[in-house]
Amino acid sequence: MYKSVTLKADNGVEIIKLLSENINSSIEKENNEYCVSITDELGSGHVKAINFDNGVSVIEADMLVNKSFRIQFKKDKLNPLVLLFNTESAVVHSDTSEDKKNTIERFESLMFSNDMKDYNSLMISKGKPTSFIKIFINRKEFEKKLDEFVDNMSIDLESLFKDVNGVNFFNYKGHYTLDISEAIDAIKNCETEGLVRSLFIEAKTYEILTLHFQQYTDDLNDPEKRQILRRSTIDKIEEAATLIKDDLATNFSVNQLAKKVGVNQNTLQSGFRHLFSSSVSDYIREKRIAKAKELIESTDLNITEITYAVGINSRSYFSKLFKEKYKLTPNEYLKQVRKDRSA
Tell me what pLDDT residue 99 has: 63
Nearest Cα residue to 177 out of 213, 222, 220 = 213
DSSP 131-168: EEEEEEE-HHHHGGGGGGTGGG--HHHHHHHH-TT--S
Tell me what pLDDT residue 89 has: 93
Q: Which of 165-174, 255-264, 310-319 has the lowest mean pLDDT?
A: 165-174
Tell me what pLDDT residue 68 has: 93
What are the start-end ranges of the E strands in 42-141? 43-51, 56-65, 68-74, 81-86, 91-94, 101-104, 108-113, 119-124, 130-137
Neighbours of 244 (CB within 10 A): 20
Tell me what pLDDT residue 162 has: 82
Query: How does pLDDT run across 108-127, given as a tens digit for each residue?
Result: 999 988 776 667 899 999 99
> Can you tell me the distance from the alpha carbon of 80 to that of 70, in angstroms, rounded to the nearest whole number?
20
H or E element, residue 13: helix 12-22
Tell me what pLDDT residue 116 has: 64
Tell me what pLDDT residue 213 has: 87
> Can you tell me the distance from the alpha carbon of 100 to that of 132, in angstroms, rounded to the nearest whole number?
21
pLDDT confidence of 150, banded at 50, 70, 90? low
Tell me what pLDDT residue 107 has: 87
> Can you tell me the distance from the alpha carbon of 307 to that of 319, in angstroms, rounded to the nearest whole number?
9
Q: What is the DSSP letter of 115?
A: -
User: Region 147-164: what's the mean pLDDT?
Assistant: 75
User: Which residues lie closer than 8 Å to 145 by C-beta, 6 or more apart?
Assistant: 54, 55, 56
Query: How does pLDDT run across 190-214, given as a tens digit for each residue?
Result: 989 889 999 999 999 999 998 998 8
DSSP 300-340: ---HHHHHHHTT---HHHHHHHHHHHHSS-HHHHHHHHHHH
Residues composing the chain? 343
pLDDT higher than threshold 80 for residue 153: no
User: Region 218-245: what's the mean pLDDT?
Assistant: 81
Tell me what pLDDT residue 113 has: 85
The answer to whether 48 touches 60, Cβ cutoff 8 Å, is: yes
Nearest Cα residue to 4 out of 135, 124, 128 = 124
Q: Whole-structure pTM over 0.75, yes or no?
A: no
Phi, psi dihedral angles at 135 (to 5 degrees): -110, 130
> Can you tell me the distance from the alpha carbon of 44 to that of 144, in angstroms, rounded to the nearest whole number?
39
Percent of the chain with pLDDT over 70: 94
Q: What is the CATH number of domain 229-343?
A: 1.10.10.60
Query: How does pLDDT run across 253-288, given as a tens digit for each residue?
Result: 999 999 999 988 888 988 888 788 899 999 999 999
Nearest Cα residue to 82 out of 55, 111, 109 = 111
> Can you tell me the distance from the alpha carbon of 171 to that of 110, in angstroms, rounded to the nearest whole number?
7
Nearest Cα residue to 325 out of 340, 338, 339, 310 = 310
Phi, psi dihedral angles at 62 (to 5 degrees): -150, 115
Q: What is the CATH number of domain 2-224?
A: 2.60.120.10
Q: What is the DSSP letter of 223?
A: G
Q: Which of 52-56, 128-132, 216-220, 244-248 has the lowest mean pLDDT?
A: 216-220
The answer to whether 9 touches 47, Cβ cutoff 8 Å, is: no
Domain residue spans of the chain: 2-224, 229-343
Nearest Cα residue to 136 out of 49, 215, 70, 214 = 49
Highest mean pLDDT among 103-107, 117-121, 215-219: 103-107
User: Region 221-249: what's the mean pLDDT?
Assistant: 83
Neighbours of 35 (CB within 10 A): 18
